Structure formats: C-alpha cells, structure tokens
Structure 1
Amino acid sequence: MDLEPPERLARTVAAWEGEAGRVWLTELPGRVAGYLERWQLTPERVFAAGGQISMIVLVRAVDGTPAVLKVGMVNQETAQEHAALAHWGGRGAVRLLRADPAQGVLLEERLRADVSLRSLAEPKAMLEAAGIVQRLWVPPAEGHPFASVADRTAALGAVLRQRREQEFAADARDLVDEALALREELTASAPEPVLLHGDFHHGNVLSGERMPWLAIDPKPLVGEPAYDLAWLARDRLPTLAAQPGSRAAARRRVAKLASSLEVDPERLRGWALFRAVEAGVWYLSVGGREDGELLLEFASWL
C-alpha cells in the first residue's frame, strides 16, 4: 500500500515547518509502516483530505474493529492531544484507543471522516457545535499537563509584537495593538479555568456511530470558555464575508454564541479579535496573504 504523505499534508508541512517539516515528511512513510506492524493494524486507505500536520490512515485492528491511525508532528499545540482525549474518555470527543505521544502517534475510534458539521446548514451546525463544546468544558485533573491560555497567549503575543514591525504587517499595526491590549485585559480578569479544545470549529466535529457528533483534533489548553469559542465565531468565514452586511452578521454571531453558551459577549469578542489577528498576521508571515487579510478583516468587524 502506498504510504506517501498526501499532497495537502506535504504542502502545508513544508510551508509551515520549513526544513524540520521536510525531514519529518521524508521519515513519515517508514514511521507509519512501523506502527502498522507494531500495533498489528491492517491499512485500508490513506485519507487524503486529512490533517494539515498529520497523516490519517483508515485501519482495522487485529479483531477487525475499524479505527484511525493518526501520525502527526509534535509541537507545543499537539503534544497533549492524547492527554485531553484520555481525560474526556469519549465524552463529546473521539475515543482514544492507544497512543505513543512522544512520536505523535494516536489510534482512535473511526468516525465518518468525510462528514463534519460543515455538511449541515449553519444554524443547525452552530446548535450541534454548542452542545458538543459544552461537554468538553470539564475541570482538568489535578497535576494536569496542559498549558494555560494566559501562558500560551503570552508567547503568541510576544511573537505577534515582533511581527508587527515587519513590512508585511504594516497595514495591521492598529489591529495588532488592539489585540495585544485586549489580551492583557482578558488574562488579568479570567474566570475559573476548564479544559478547552483549543481548535474548535465545524470542521473538527465529525459524525460518528457511538454518538451523532464527536470532536477531533484538540489542541488543548486550560482557560475560560470564551477563548474556545473564538474559532467558532469566525467559522465559514469566506461565506460570512461574501454576504451583505458582513460586519453586522459577525457581531450578531458573537452575541448569539455568547448568549447560547452563557459566556460574556465582550470576552468572546475580545478573544475572537485576538485570535483572528494573531492567526491573520501569522498567515501573512508565511505568505498566505489571502487568508491573512480575510482574518484581519474579520477582526476589524469586531
């Protein structure tokens, strides 16, 4: 079976991770083959539309159970994915079957990989998403390994401050300043922390057999729920941007999400703005001007 990385994976890893990413891609087929043998898994196919920094292989365990082998790059965002999935224990999220965290290798229950919440109309998708994310907001265990929102965004803010001075960010400097100021205010007055998904949006909620919808691909943190809703607030952004009255629609979405999940709308607005600016400037820094400018435009609406 061909275990070469899918084109999308190869393109994003090379663009985002540079030389380290290219080395990882070279080693990836051998690593995948090794875990297929070690864990006695029979591969069915590589899921070409899988992760941006992980390879997804549909497999069967030795007893015939369908599963997913996920082999990803390990970084500060993904290093504790296994710990979050284990803590949730299948409640609201995909069930973890086996893991080698140091190598970024996870064996998970198989969901319908090609059916996410993006297959639903937006109002229904938002309703389902709200129900799922609430299940994930549980207290972390004592001595947990997860970074805090305050620490993670402090590191992101420091890099954002450096990128602010680059030519590619010249038009975004006022937004960057507002985002950094909001981050300071939000982290100084944060409510009781819970375990967060960290990358929650419609594309990361898949249809399952055990439950209708389950979250995948967490980049876990501990912090306030408003932070976890920031990506959801700008979901389907190209469609949002293309409709008349985009600014008003974005603000209505933030208000509706905050109301439905009992989150302070100003805190959600602040985190949505900060995360959109940070991601937008990052895209500009790696040559993704179209994505970057769209995210910065969304931030300006807020």
Structure 2
Amino acid sequence: MPHIEPPQRLVRALSESVPGTAASAWLEGLPSAVERGVAACGVTVERVQVPGGRSSLVVLVRRGDGSPAVLKIAPERFRPAAELAALVHWGGLGAVQVLAGAGDGVLLLERLRPDVSVRTLPEAKATLEAAGALRRLWVEPPAGWGEVFESVTERTGRQAAAMRGAGQADAEVSALVDAALAVREELVASAPEERLLHGTFRQSKVLAGERSPWLAVGPDPVVGECAFDLARLVRDRVEDLVGSPSGAAIARRRVKKLAEVLEVDQDRLRGWVLFRAVESGVRARRVGRDRDAELLLEFASWLS
C-alpha cells in the first residue's frame, strides 16, 4: 500500500478544531486506520486526494471490480456516524452515494470529480445550481432522528455559548455578537417545519458526478429549518464580496434571490446568515485566522 501522508490542509484544520493532543494522536493512527478501512472494504489504494478536506482524509481507491471509489476517514469529533446516517437516508438522491460503512469513521463512497465543483461556474449560475442541489436534500428526517442528529437549536446553542464569551472578552466584536445572539433567540423560538439539512453547505460541497450532474458531499447533518442551510451559501466567495464596492448590495440581493427561489422567509434567512457569519468570524479570530475573521465580520456587519 502507498505511504499515507495527510494533506497540510487537514493537518492545519485539525490543529485548530481538535483539542489537546487528540489531533496528533489521530494523525499518527491514520496509516493503521487506512489499512483497516482498505481491508474491510476490499479496495486498493491509488493515492491521497490533495488538497482534500478540512475534516477528513480522502483516499482515492479501486474496488475489486476495478470501479473507482473514495475511502473517507474522519475523527469522531466530526460526527462521521451522522454523516453516514444522512447519506443513507438520502439514498444517493442529491448527494454522494454510500457504497459501504466500515465503522470507526470510515466510509466508502462513490467517486465524483473533486476538481469540478459548482464553484468553478460563473457566480450567478453557481449559486442557482447549488441551490437546486440543496433543495433535493431537504426531506423529512428519519424516525428517532434525535439519537443520531443534532437539532439546529442544539448546535447553535453550543455555538452561542462560545460566542458569548468571545463577545465579553473582545470589545471590537461585542456589538456584532450581541446582534447575532439576539437574532438566534428569535429564530429558535419560532422555528418552522423541520427537515434534514446538509449543515455545512456551500458551492465547493457540490461536485460533478456521472449519474447526476451535481451531487452534494461532506454533510455535517442537522435537523431544522431550511433557511439555516442556505446561510453559508449566501456568503460564498466572501473575499470577492468584501473586495467589491457593491459587495453589501450583492449580499442583500443574494438573500432575496435565494429566499424567493427556495421559498424560505427572507427575514429568517437574513437572520441565520448574520448568526452563522458572526459565529464563523469569532471562531476564526479565536484560532488566529485573522484575515478570515476580518472578512466574515465585515460581511456580517452588512446584515446587522
């Protein structure tokens, strides 16, 4: 089997998000985890996908019949069991198809085209194609979903607690944090019908496939209202938005357009865009990604 070297993108992301020595321990155990996954799924390794993702190792493999596939291995912190459950529930409709689940964070998935995402399209078309792909995922969650998936209220509650501490310690972001926390309280108090959501959806999470033009990958599934799932898509290409003199107007038009196309409440979508942008900005600031934090918080200020 070829030598397994985790991409630097994954190494950096794990160092930011996994506490203590857990990240280094997981990375040290990767070669053994790959060997177990290869044996359990009966595949042969081609190579590690680079740059790959920020929460998992992605290995390009071949099945016994020679067909291509992807072996994905993720730490428990990134909820691989929930990802598996969501992908199985979607059954390949709108999302990458599961070929096997080997436990211990190992998934065998159909191989898509990692070099061709919706993000490669012109901005306006990319947004609409991504929205169309996302719509297909919004289905009723399975019975007993609370045993596998978080709710939007639960996930954002944890995030809100972390944001509250950051806002108290950092006067520069306190007003934005206060606004984001207030809008979250309003949103969770009156949530509409619950659906199974992708959870971390953006343009780069939609890849070209053979059996369908575009398929979603890499969910961090959650159950809640659809507007929550659109919020990250609104700020896609945030560096271009902030660099544009009409960035604020473009962002507001995106909110309006996506709300209309996907039939969600515009004010609720704007609220979730604000909350999620501030949460991401505060988190980026906490781990030293100052440029990302600056972009996200400026974007959030347009909606507060």
- Report the TM range for the smaller structure's normalisation: over 0.9
Aligned partner of 1:164 among 134, 153, 167: 167
Is the contact made by 2:118 and 2:204 (CA closer than 8 Å) also made in structure 1? yes
Is the contact made by 2:55 and 2:78 (CA closer than 8 Å) also made in structure 1? no
Provide structure 2 residue ranges, at least 5 long, that are not aligned to the other structure. none
The corresponding residue for 2:157 is: 154
* Amino acid corresponding to residue 56 of structure 1 in structure 2: V
* Amino acid corresponding to residue 146 of structure 1 in structure 2: F
Is the contact made by 2:56 and 2:73 (CA closer than 8 Å) also made in structure 1? yes
Is the contact made by 1:72 and 1:104 (CA closer than 8 Å) also made in structure 2? yes
- 1:141-220 equivalent positions in 2, closer than 5 A: 141-144=142-145, 145-166=148-169, 169-220=170-221
Aligned partner of 1:93 among 56, 78, 95: 95
The corresponding residue for 1:224 is: 225
SS in 2 for 1:258: helix
Q: Are 2:82 and 1:74 aligned?
A: no
Deviation at 1:77, TM superposition (A): 4.8
Cα distance per residue 1:234-267 (max 9 Å; x no partner): 0011111111211111111111111111111100
The corresponding residue for 1:29 is: 31
The corresponding residue for 1:285 is: 286
Deviation at 1:78, TM superposition (A): 4.2
Measured in 2, the distance between the counterparts of 1:222 and 1:91 equals: 18
Deviation at 1:49, TM superposition (A): 1.3
SS in 1 for 2:93: coil
Measured in 2, the distance between the counterparts of 1:35 and 1:104 equals: 9
SS in 2 for 1:53: coil
Is the contact made by 2:18 and 2:77 (CA closer than 8 Å) also made in structure 1? no
* Amino acid corresponding to residue 70 of structure 1 in structure 2: K
Measured in 1, the distance between the counterparts of 2:31 and 2:78 equals: 23
Measured in 2, the distance between the counterparts of 1:37 and 1:142 equals: 32
Measured in 2, the distance between the counterparts of 1:152 and 1:15 equals: 19
Deviation at 1:165, TM superposition (A): 2.3
Is the contact made by 1:3 and 1:33 (CA closer than 8 Å) also made in structure 2? no
Cα distance per residue 1:160-182 (max 9 Å; x no partner): 1122222xx32010000000000
**Residue correspondences, number:** 299
Provide structure 1 residue ranges, at least 5 long, that are not aligned to the other structure. none
Is the contact made by 2:37 and 2:102 (CA closer than 8 Å) also made in structure 1? no
* Amino acid corresponding to residue 254 of structure 2 in structure 1: R
* Amino acid corresponding to residue 150 of structure 1 in structure 2: T
The corresponding residue for 2:57 is: 55
* Amino acid corresponding to residue 93 of structure 2 in structure 1: R
Pick closer, same or farther for the CA change 1:291–1:83 going to 2, 3 Å: same
* Amino acid corresponding to residue 294 of structure 2 in structure 1: E
Cα distance per residue 1:194-222 (max 9 Å; x no partner): 00000110000000001000000000011
Identity of aligned residues (%): 54
CA RMSD of aligned residues (A): 1.2
Q: Are 2:44 and 1:9 aligned?
A: no
Deviation at 1:79, TM superposition (A): 3.8
Cα distance per residue 1:123-150 (max 9 Å; x no partner): 1111111111110000011112211101
SS in 1 for 2:26: helix
* Amino acid corresponding to residue 192 of structure 1 in structure 2: E
Measured in 2, the distance between the counterparts of 1:282 and 1:179 equals: 14
Q: TM-score, normalised by structure 1?
A: 0.96
